[in-house]
Structure 1
Amino acid sequence: MFGFRRKAATAAAPGAAEWRARGNAALGQGQLVEAADCYRQAAACDPADAEARVNLGYVLLEQGAAVEAAGTLSQAVALAGERTELLADAQFLLGRAHRLQGQDRRAAASYRAALAARPGFAESLQELVPLLLDAGQAGEAVAFAQRAAQAAPRPQVLMLLAQALHAAGRAAEALVPLDAVLASDPGDAAALACRGNVLLELGRCEEALASSEQVLGVHGRQADALANASAALLRLERNEAALALAEEALRLQPAHRVSLHNRSCALTNLLRMDEALLRAREATLLHPDDADLQWSLGVAHLLRGDLAPGWKAHEARWHAKDFPGALSRAFTAAPQWTGAQALEGRCILLHAEQGLGDSIHFVRYLPQVAARAREVLVHVQQSLVPLLAQLPANCRLLQPGEPIPPHELQCPLLSLPHAFGTTLATIPADVPYLQADPERLPPWQQRLAGRARPQVGIVWSGNPQHGNDRNRSIPLHSFVAIAQEGVGFVSLQVQVRESDRAAMAHWPGLFDAGPLLHDFGDTAALASALDLVVTVDTSVAHLAGALGKPVWVLLPYVPDWRWMLGREDSPWYPGMRLFRQPARGDWDSVLQRVRSELRALASS
């Protein structure tokens, strides 16, 4: 009798859930290839399985397959529907896939979507905030970080909020989340370091130094913490100590960027210029694309009078972190004139970029530009407009608020020396290159009539917001040491600080012209009626020099780069004398020397 064998029962094929479980097990053991295969099987079993695609996307990212991961995760996003937790994971991983492909905008959009699905998603916030900050969208970064901090005030989120606030220029507010982090963990190195940077920006240098020293005490002698402490010491003008910490950091990390910068700055502040230049060159070789290091190199060259290489390196300022003039060319998209392009038949825009004195200093190049170009548009600060009434025929002075006309090229005023290849021998020093309005001069001559001669205009302080004001300005109770019988003193000081008012009231015979000076046209007319101007390093020094008036400029131990070192004259202004501090902070000897020179002038 013939019969047949019953077929053995076959095991049921694994379903999507089982394939996911197998994939999770393989992933837990680090077996990425097997995990990816299992997740693909799960997706094949259930075309609507979003979770399998999220997991597969994660594995593909771990394998470096960003393009395939992006496709898989895009499917997961579409399938996740209203499952917000799954959607948040899918969008976050999709953002990472976009980021790996250099698609930062798409990455940011995915991170935004992840945060919308899960507001306290710290990992997504950590990815999104740096992207927004790099894109200059600090305000949006703050908004996301604030929402996340409200939803989940964890230390990671609070740190990101602090960083966003700091980048948005809200340094004082950034201290609040930092203090919250440190309240829960007083030794948190990242929070202490960030707090030190914020305090330094706020000018609270001693506190900044204390934060950096706390990091060093708790976490050891690390290069980053040493660099932060060195930066605080630089601001406190403790340059020897700053140099020592910078060099210690560089022994740990020879290419540490911030420490290289700190070392160059400290050496420059100590006027050890040969070393400063050598170290600055070394730093730029290690980091050739670093604008701050190039800028430091430029300053070192210019201080030494090495103008050609100085101008070239000085152009890096436009990309430096804290350059104050960066917004000045935001209103023009025209290419910058470098001196290489022909100007014949073309219109060029020349524009201010920094302070009033900088503009006065470098408008001297206007005739040279005008001689080459078809038309020159001139855009300067409003208070300087009255000074520029007499321009070459093809120059047009733009009035405040006037729209910028079409132009083919542009150049910041401080870039003109580089464009012209200026050296010490070729500085355009013909003065006067500015003139006072002749109609404004007689009233000043009448006011000064009958006063003691010589008539000497004085300025003892500059802009209190200037980064180096503490070194450039002199308290009036000290400046009064130049007072000398037989000399008529006239204050050209427009803004008088409260701390100077008492000394001003007790200076016998001082004529306070400040309230009568409404713009630089008035100041130019008054300066033209005087015999001499004695001033600290302010815009008035440049104005008097540009007018061709005798002017004595009182300089701190470490002067601005344009005054160079070791000389009592200025190649920029033939009628100028420089009175330099012989040691840091020593105004007394400078003022006594000025008084002695005034005595000689009065008796001549």
Structure 2
Amino acid sequence: MNGATWQSDLLLAQQSFDQNRIDEALAIATTVQAAHPACAEALEIIGLVQSRRHQVDEAVKTLEHALRIRCDLIPAHYYLGLLYQSRGEPERAVQVFERALLLDPGHDRIRFSRALSLLKLARFDEGWIEYEWRWKAAAVPRPEIPLPRWDGSSLEGRSILIHTEQGFGDTFQFIRFLPRLQQLGATVWLAAQKPLSRLLRDIQGVDHWMPVDQPAPIAFDLYSPLLSLPALLQLHHPERFRVATPYLYAEPDRVEKWRGRIESLSGLKIGIGWQGSPTFKGDVWRSIPLSCFAALTNVDNVTLVSLQKHDGLNQLAENDTAFPLVRYDDLDADGAFLDTIAVFQHLDLVVTSDTALAHLAGGAGVPVWCLISTACDWRWMTQASDTVWYDSMRLFRQQKLGEWEPVIADVVSELQRLGPRK
């Protein structure tokens, strides 16, 4: 293999990877690396393929090897930082991202990824500022609003539109800050996801509501993205995130509608959710196979109730005979989460993966155990079993990426000591 050939092969391997033909990219890069063991670029492509295949430990070793040979491989730095994030090592991720930013200070995806690690480390004074790179990194779609964006200046006598920007869980979590805007003298408009209109129509801190994805007349002075509020409000200490719960409420008649159906169930009544949206980039790590929840039925006198909607329902048939699970086909039939939050009121506990269900339960102030991966989102930070976000929530943390059985075993152990909710 002469010089011109292997260099052109490397280019072809990179193109194949960029076009998601990862088998082809790996085959070409492996051939080049076998002929040229010290070729850092070939090792980089192999490491990127391993990362894409979720071979985390192998990818870390390969990319570290590539960077020992050549320290200026920016994709290797970027992917290595992401891998450290997945393994629950945000300090190392920050170090890698910062080395990469010495080479390319304006690399938007690295700046945004660094922000996530800073936030996970509770370095909020830096993290909130860097989190604004989410727009340039194209991690979040940015609406066009022909008005000034709020810069933190006085809101006295002014009206402000706050628009949601990410998933339902983010909306449930961050609407807690809207009353603070009213306290600063603002009239608050909320542009939120249309499916949440009935659930959010009476929340505190909102004067007017509109769907985020539909045109509407401009009747406000300023706007701000919802997840930019902590930076604008200068919330640099986690304790300042804490608010009284509940701040999300079920419709009273709906609570009564579900009373008899849930209270007729025997024993400790536990609602479960296992699957997030598969379109979310990190869903491979946060969602939990339904089969893992079978161990909860080993606890005496437990009834499991499915709270899962849409994604993940295919697993019900696969586990239909494995363990008993109560299902309600009419759950939320006439509005997103309307029945779910009412059912919460009659359950002893909610046990769920890290999805909107966890945030809904936390915002509703009901007991919820959230099972989180080492690759968990920044908001759960790094070690504690409690969280400033929700007083009624307990976190069960994975110790090794991808291994849910020990987490479920911890849940089972705790359930042995838990009695029915009073």
1:187, 1:218 within 8 Å by CA — same for their partners in 2? no
- State the one-letter code of the partner of 1:600: R
Q: Considering fraction of residues, name the structure with more helix.
A: 1
Partner of residue 564, structure 1: 381
Please state whether the residue corresponding to 1:533 is helix, strand or coil.
strand
The answer as to 2:396 corresponding to 1:579 is: yes
Give per-residue Cα distances to partners, 1:542-581, cap 9 Å, x unaligned: 0000000110011112211111111111111111111111
Output the CA distance in 2 between the equivalents of 1:258 and 1:424. Answer: 33
2:181, 2:205 within 8 Å by CA — same for their partners in 1? no
Candidates 292, 306, 324, aligned match of 1:478: 292
Output the CA distance in 1 between the equivalents of 2:264 and 2:405. Answer: 31
The answer as to 2:225 corresponding to 1:409 is: no
2:121, 2:381 within 8 Å by CA — same for their partners in 1? yes
The answer as to 2:155 corresponding to 1:334 is: no
Give per-residue Cα distances to partners, 1:215-247, cap 9 Å, x unaligned: 545787555544333222222333343334434
Partner of residue 189, structure 2: 377
Change (3 A) 1:209 1:563: farther
Partner of residue 515, structure 1: 330
Partner of residue 279, structure 2: 465
Change (3 A) 1:331 1:406: farther
Please state whether the residue corresponding to 1:574 is helix, strand or coil.
coil
1:475, 1:500 within 8 Å by CA — same for their partners in 2? no
Partner of residue 169, structure 2: 357
The answer as to 2:120 corresponding to 1:308 is: no
Output the CA distance in 2 between the equivalents of 1:404 and 1:439. Answer: 34
Please state whether the residue corresponding to 1:600 is helix, strand or coil.
coil
Give per-residue Cα distances to partners, 1:253-272, cap 9 Å, x unaligned: 43332222123223333333
How many corresponding residue pairs? 410
Structure 1 unaligned residues grouped into runs of 5+:
1-184
Output the CA distance in 1 between the equivalents of 2:223 and 2:143. Answer: 11
Q: CA deviation at 1:366?
A: 1.0
Partner of residue 500, structure 1: 316
Please state whether the residue corresponding to 2:350 is helix, strand or coil.
strand
List aligned pairs for 1:133-532, cutoff 5 A.
188-199=9-20, 205-214=22-31, 216=33, 222-251=39-68, 253-320=70-137, 322-323=138-139, 325-326=140-141, 329-339=142-152, 341-392=153-204, 395-399=207-211, 401=214, 403-422=216-235, 423-483=237-297, 484-495=299-310, 496-508=312-324, 510-518=325-333, 519-532=336-349
With structure 1 as the length reference, what TM-score do the two structures score?
Answer: 0.63
Partner of residue 353, structure 2: 536
Q: Higher RCO, 1 or 2 (CA under 8 Å, sep at least 6)? A: 2
Output the CA distance in 1 between the equivalents of 2:329 and 2:108. Answer: 40
Please state whether the residue corresponding to 2:400 is helix, strand or coil.
coil
Larger radius of gyration: 1
Give per-residue Cα distances to partners, 1:151-201, cap 9 Å, x unaligned: xxxxxxxxxxxxxxxxxxxxxxxxxxxxxxxxxx9964433321112216x
Output the CA distance in 2 between the equivalents of 1:240 and 1:589. Answer: 20
Change (3 A) 1:517 1:261: same
Please state whether the residue corresponding to 1:516 is helix, strand or coil.
coil
- State the one-letter code of the partner of 1:297: R
Q: CA deviation at 1:390?
A: 1.6
Change (3 A) 1:406 1:226: farther
Partner of residue 62, structure 1: none
Give per-residue Cα distances to partners, 1:515-557, cap 9 Å, x unaligned: 3223122221111222211001110000000000110011112
Give per-residue Cα distances to partners, 1:12-59, cap 9 Å, x unaligned: xxxxxxxxxxxxxxxxxxxxxxxxxxxxxxxxxxxxxxxxxxxxxxxx
Please state whether the residue corresponding to 2:416 is helix, strand or coil.
helix
2:86, 2:376 within 8 Å by CA — same for their partners in 1? no
With structure 2 as the length reference, what TM-score do the two structures score?
Answer: 0.88
CA RMSD after TM alignment: 2.6
How much identity, in percent, do the aligned residues show? 33
Change (3 A) 1:553 1:529: same
2:10, 2:41 within 8 Å by CA — same for their partners in 1? no
Output the CA distance in 2 between the equivalents of 1:578 and 1:302. Answer: 18
Please state whether the residue corresponding to 1:529 is helix, strand or coil.
coil
Q: CA deviation at 1:514?
A: 4.7
Q: CA deviation at 1:207?
A: 5.0
Change (3 A) 1:394 1:238: closer
Change (3 A) 1:306 1:225: same
Please state whether the residue corresponding to 1:602 is helix, strand or coil.
coil
1:487, 1:602 within 8 Å by CA — same for their partners in 2? no
Output the CA distance in 2 between the equivalents of 1:357 and 1:297. Answer: 22
Partner of residue 601, structure 1: 418
